Amino acid sequence: MIISFSGAPGSGKSTIAQMLADKLGWPRYYMGSIWRQMAKEKGVDVAAFSKLNEDDPYNDKEVDEYQRKLGQEQDNFIIEGRTSWYFIPHSLKIYLDVDKDEGAKRIFSSLQKGNSRNEAHNLSSWQELVVNTQERVVSDDSRYFKYYGIHVFDQSNYDFCLNTTNLSPKQVFDKVYEWVAAHLDNTKN
């Protein structure tokens, strides 16, 4: 079984995907780290890199082909990425949502603690991060619609959706794990 995660910025995708991978003892693949590394190599932040890729699908296609191959060649892993659900259609597809202000506050808090995410430089408040993340959402959605005809933030693409705005990471994990465990049990029958 393959479990794919996507969702809004700051919704807790990475935290919950890692917690689930740890619980199941499965590997976790994080497309965001690949994307951030590509941006870093170009000397730009993620928002600027996304903007650059609006007219050139090369980098997107490279990441997407990597996902497609993983889905064909491996099993029992967690993958996190905007298009993972699309390129691994047989995965259990999980979408985590969050209010944009709360998501920005979470990301900003993480940045303040020294967690580097290659976000836009010189952000001095979570309010500035709201603008930055919304620009990325628009860029991501328009790129993937242009390249593949899909809307990556459309929750109807997913098997399980959860709004994490008013939930702790443990509460989110418990709800996600309960849903996943029911599907794991079904595959054993």
Residue 189 pLDDT: 44
**The pLDDT of residue 125:** 79
Beta strands in the chain (DSSP E): 2-7, 28-30, 77-80, 92-97, 160-163
Q: How confident is the model at residue 186 (pLDDT cuts 50, 70, 90)?
A: low
Instruction: Write down the pLDDT at residue 187.
Output: 59
pLDDT band at 86 (very low <50, low <70, confident <90, very high): very high
Q: What is the pLDDT of residues 91-150, one digit of tens each?
A: 999 999 999 999 989 988 888 776 665 455 567 778 888 888 888 899 889 988 988 999
pLDDT of 102-111, one tens digit each?
Answer: 998 998 888 8
What is the CB neighbour count within 10 angstroms for residue 187?
8
Cα 177 versus chain centre, distance: 17
Q: For all residues of the chain together, what is the average pLDDT? A: 87
Interval 63-76 mean pLDDT: 90
- Whether 66 has a pLDDT exceeding 80, the answer reads yes
Please give the Cα distance from 101 to 124 (Å, whole number): 15
Query: What domains are defined for the chain?
Result: 2-188 (3.40.50.300)
User: Averaged over 168-188, what is the pLDDT?
Assistant: 89
CA distance 85 to 161: 13
Nearest Cα to Cα of residue 158 among 104, 107, 101, 88: 88
